[in-house]
Amino acid sequence: MRLGDVLRFAGGALRGHRLRTCFSLLGVAIGVASVILLTSLGEGAREYITGEFTSLGSNLLIVVPGKTETAGFAPLVSTAPHDLTEADAEALGRRIAAIRRVAPLVVGTAAARAGERSREVTVVGTTRPLLEIRKLKLASGRFLPADMPEAAVCVLGARVQRELFPGENPLGQVVRIGDWRFRVIGVIAPRGTSIGMDLDEVVEIPVATGLRLFNRTSLFRILAEVGSHEDLASARAAVLEVLRERHGGQDDVTVLTQDSVLAAFDRILMALTAALAGIAAISLGVAGLGIMNLMLVSVTERTREIGLMKAIGATPAQVVGVFLIEAAMVSTAGGVAGLLAGVGAGQLLQQIYVELPFRPPGWAGPAALGVSCAVGLLFGILPARNAARLDPVVALARRKA
Amino acid sequence: MIQLAGVSRTYVVGGSPVHALKGVDLAIGAGEYVSIMGPSGSGKSTLLHLLGCLDRPNAGSYRFGEAETTTMTEAERCRLRRHQIGFVFQFFHLVPRLTAVGNVELPMIFAGMPPGERTERAWQALEGVGLGARAGHRPDQLSGGEQQRVAIARAVAMRPSLLLADEPTGNLDRTSGSEIVGLMERMNQSGLTLIVVTHDPQVGGRARRRVRLSDGLIVADERHGAGGPSSAASAATV
Ligand SMILES: Nc1ncnc2c1ncn2[C@@H]1O[C@H](COP(=O)(O)OP(=O)(O)O)[C@@H](O)[C@H]1O
Ligand SMILES: [Mg+2]
């Protein structure tokens, strides 16, 4: 039996009950479209976050107090570390040639008030090099001074400025943060969400002031920018070496690279995409049951035809083949429809929600076709075997149906 | 050509056995024209299905040509049906969505015949049954007699050596029934072995050899000359 003939024969049978065929096809189409949409979302999110990380600069070392055994995300188990201090940060910049810039960080939240208005802000105590390291742009004024780590001055994020000083020039005005009074010296240009914190919601103050404001002795983090990516590994070793020496021979810090953080995020987001695809795949399974039902009904309706096929010399394998191809045709057509609908809906959503990252992964197309075809074949097996097992004598004895 | 020896077929219905055939011996030579008659339930259809390798006997031997069919695999029996045997049924069993020519092509499709040769043969077969002009019609656009002629064209399209018909006139009026039998007789005259199951004495009486079944056993096996006494008898009753 020739493939072209099988396809034509199966197609003719399907046209015999168009409505039923269309519903089963629709089931597969919905399943495939939802897989495409959800994986597009997951993949888009992954690419977005990867892009954000890359824009931070791939030459960054992040020093975190405490030691973790696994090269994880952030240290979970700490071994009573020495404080990570401004002096440590300063020593890194001074003693390691490969390190171009260093910014210590201390982070906390506090209520900020200006006149009648107040809001909760994230306060970052840091130094001037943060401006270059995080590639921040000033909307007005200047950033933290390089030489006055204890000054009571602050730089506002764009939204903080908008909410505390709507329609006013905040430069030179006073903001109360906690119990302290800070003079505003600059405003950061709006930038939107970035990894870790929303920079528009942040207020930057000098690092020593920050430590005192939050009553801390240890830094939250030290960011160190290395001159070139090739020096990253050696600089990382040098950082560990310098801090071991400064902390009395104890290895009590963790140094993360952007690469390791990025890899961790990448793993999490791939798992997320896979989970979304898995949820959507359930609907494909349901669609498969729809196809199985379609084919079971078809086999029952065409009992006489199957008996006849056998009487005129169709082998059981040919009968199985005809019904499997029929099931696969429905599901593959559904797969094509679902692929088009999924990609189309994705593009439509992209038009409406410009910020939402939608990107169907490259494998989506071939996978949709392959999987939908496989669904038809898999769920077609039972009906096709039922057909092949029909006793031709009994089948032909039927007057109708 | 055909040799049955001690063939029996037993169905189990609701736990108790029904003996449809109880040890049938029958030999049929190539080119013979045989009718199988008998009351309803006597085992005629069962015998025809066994002859057509659609069913297997519970006991006994069935030789087709040189080959013993009872030990064949399902695939071998399929091949035998495909190339050697044509069936005509009481209810035509045409595929309703296919045209006349599409129905006639079906056995050749399963045999894997190339489309060009296949279509040509199908047209020839349809012209052979006088339906060349209706080749593009679907079964529901054809009369009963025409449908049965399409079925005959389909049965002979693969050029089998044996044509089996189970009550071929059972669903037709007398005129078209007679035409159908005449058509099959012409094919028999050009060498095709013909076996017709019928409970209609007028149809059965036209055969040169008449086998009578009763309660699963052959009770009579008569041979008559062509156009023998039965055709005279049927002419008298009309
Ligand atoms: N598939 C079957 N299952 C059970 N009994 C059957 C089956 N086919 C035929 N029979 C029984 O076998 C006997 C012979 O049937 P059949 O060959 O169809 O008779 P006929 O064609 O002469 O009317 C009947 O008693 C019938 O009930
Ligand atoms: Mg019968």
Summary mean pLDDT of chain B = 91
| Shortest-distance atom of ligand 1 to CA B213 | 22
Domain-terminating residue out of A200, A220, A251: A251
CB A64 within 8 A of CB A221: yes
List chain B residues with CB under 8 Å of A316.
Answer: 74-75, 78
Question: Does any domain span residue A256?
Answer: no
**pLDDT score of B229 more than 50:** no
| Shortest-distance atom of ligand 1 to CA B46 | 17
State whether A295 and A152 are in the same domain. Answer: no
Q: How far apart are CA A112 and CA A213, in angstroms?
A: 13
State whether A97 and A212 are in the same domain. Answer: yes
**pLDDT score of A354 more than 70:** yes
Q: How far apart are CA B184 and CA B143, in angstroms?
A: 18
Question: Does any domain span residue A115?
Answer: yes
State whether A128 and A240 are in the same domain. Answer: yes
Q: How far apart are CA B32 and CA B208, in angstroms?
A: 8
A83 φ, ψ to 5°?
A: -60, 145
Tokens 């040169």, residue? Answer: B208
Please name the residue of chain B whose CA is at the shortest distance from the CA of residue A13: B97
| Spatial CB neighbours of A228, under 8 Å, sequence gap ≥ 6 | A59, A98
State whether A236 and A287 are in the same domain. Answer: no
CB A124 within 8 A of CB A155: no
Question: Does any domain span residue A59?
Answer: no
DSSP bridge pairs for B61? B5
Q: Where is average pLDDT lowest: A152-161, A358-367, A378-387?
A: A358-367
- pLDDT interval class at A306 (50, 70, 90): very high
State whether A13 and A123 are in the same domain. Answer: no
CB A79 within 8 A of CB A397: no
Where is pLDDT greater, at A75 or B185?
A: B185
Mean pLDDT throughout B89-97?
A: 93
Where is pLDDT greater, at A367 or B97?
A: B97
Q: How far apart are CA A202 and CA A143, in angstroms?
A: 13
Domain count across chain A: 2
Report the half-sphere exposure of A149 (CA within 13 A, side-chain side): 15
Q: Look at A312 and B97 and tell me if their CB atoms are within 8 Å.
A: no
Q: Look at A2 and B87 and tell me if their CB atoms are within 8 Å.
A: no
State whether A179 and A232 are in the same domain. Answer: yes
Tokens 């898999």, residue? Answer: A378
ipTM of the complex: 0.89
Domain boundaries of chain B, sorted by first residue: 33-44+81-231
- The per-residue pLDDT for A400 is 54
- The per-residue pLDDT for B236 is 36
- pLDDT interval class at A45 (50, 70, 90): confident
State whether A244 and A272 are in the same domain. Answer: no
Chosen for mutation from B78, B101, B105, B150 (greatest number of chain A CBs closer than 10 Å) is B78
- The per-residue pLDDT for A401 is 43
Question: Does any domain span residue A74?
Answer: no
Mean pLDDT throughout B113-133?
A: 94
Segments forming the whole domain that contains residue A146: 81-251
Question: Does any domain span residue A168?
Answer: yes
* Cα end-to-end distance, chain A, whole Å: 25
Q: Is B107 on the interface with A (CB under 8 A)?
A: yes
- pTM for the full predicted model: 0.72
State whether A90 and A193 are in the same domain. Answer: yes
Mean pLDDT throughout A178-195?
A: 83
| Spatial CB neighbours of A12, under 8 Å, sequence gap ≥ 6 | B97, B98
CATH number of B33-44+81-231: 3.40.50.300
Amino acid at A349: L
State whether A195 and A110 are in the same domain. Answer: yes
What own/partner pairs with CB < 8 Å and gap ≥ 24 does A260-267 have?
A: A260/A71, A261/A53, A261/A62, A261/A73, A262/A50, A262/A53, A262/A54, A264/A72, A264/A73, A265/A49, A265/A50, A265/A53, A266/A46, A266/A50
State whether A296 and A360 are in the same domain. Answer: yes
Question: Does any domain span residue A395?
Answer: yes
Question: Does any domain span residue A305?
Answer: yes
**pLDDT score of A73 more than 70:** no
State whether A222 and A274 are in the same domain. Answer: no
- The per-residue pLDDT for A194 is 55
- The per-residue pLDDT for A57 is 64
**pLDDT score of A196 more than 60:** no
- pLDDT interval class at B224 (50, 70, 90): confident
**pLDDT score of B227 more than 80:** no
State whether A128 and A224 are in the same domain. Answer: yes
Report the half-sphere exposure of A297 (CA within 13 A, side-chain side): 12
Chosen for mutation from B110, B138, B154 (greatest number of chain A CBs closer than 10 Å) is B110
Mean pLDDT throughout B85-98?
A: 94
B43 φ, ψ to 5°?
A: 110, 15
- pLDDT over 90, % of chain A: 50
Q: How far apart are CA A10 and CA A4, in angstroms?
A: 10
- The per-residue pLDDT for A136 is 84
Question: Does any domain span residue A180?
Answer: yes
Q: Is B78 on the interface with A (CB under 8 A)?
A: yes
Summary mean pLDDT of chain A = 86
Q: How far apart are CA B82 and CA B191, in angstroms?
A: 18
How far is the CA of A325 from the CAs of A251, A317, A384, in angstroms? 65, 12, 10
Where is pLDDT greater, at A368 or B173?
A: B173
**pLDDT score of A70 more than 70:** no
